[in-house]
Amino acid sequence: MSLFGGRRREGGSEPPFAPLPAGAGGGAPLGSPAAGARPEPAERKSVQGTPVVGGGESMAIIGKSIVIKGDLTGEEDLVIEGRVEGKVHLPKNRLTIGQSGNVTADVHAQSVVVIGRVAGNVSAGERLEIQATGTVEGDVRAPRLAVQEGAVMNGSIEMSTKDAPAAAKPASGPTLAPAPTPLAAGDRRIG
């Protein structure tokens, strides 16, 4: 499989582009079936179990052998199967950390799916999903959070919508003292 999701033909290589038809000046437009190009599939296949957004949206894949150190920004959906260190900022797009993905960065995207490992704070504008094989070592912030059984999540969780007030004021009335802390087995309360 290539970096851009194409597949090689078994038993030989394929030219990187379709050959032009005879009389290429005024013939069929490039990319049309008459020009020898294959039509795009309606739905993209997943890369090694990684869910992929389909339907004509642009998406990039960082392969297993790729290492990026620095800030990563963009305006398309991204699947990380390699290693990224720094910052990942995709505020309007979906980010998927694939099964072999290893991200040591603060992450901000519209939607985040963690199948691999993230060490850093994760902020999602709409939704964060940590699948059973996923690990997040850092604070998470998202209005919707899905954590599958078996996933590892070490850090604080903040779930609020953008429209919610920053701090809700309690209704007027008596204030309650905090409940006493339960003692562990064998501990005694002194005083």
Residue 51: pLDDT over 60: no
Taking only the tens place, the pLDDT of each residue in 87-107 is 999 999 999 999 999 999 999
Question: Quick one: pLDDT band at residue 35, thresholds 50, 70, 90?
Answer: very low
Spatial separation of the C-alpha atoms in residues 116 and 94, rounded to whole Å: 15
Domains of the chain, by residue range, sit at: 64-155
Spatial separation of the C-alpha atoms in residues 119 and 105, rounded to whole Å: 6
Spatial separation of the C-alpha atoms in residues 85 and 144, rounded to whole Å: 26
Residue 81: pLDDT over 80: yes
pLDDT at 162: 61
Average pLDDT over residues 145-155: 95
Residue located via tokens 């004509």: 56
| Contact criterion met (CB below 8 Å) for 130 and 149 | no
| Overall pTM > 0.75 | no
The tokens for 154 are 């070490």
Average pLDDT over residues 102-119: 97
Residue 52: pLDDT over 50: no
| Contact criterion met (CB below 8 Å) for 76 and 94 | no
Taking only the tens place, the pLDDT of each residue in 158-188 is 998 764 444 444 455 455 555 555 655 555 5
* Cα–Cα nearest to 91, from 105, 79, 78: 78
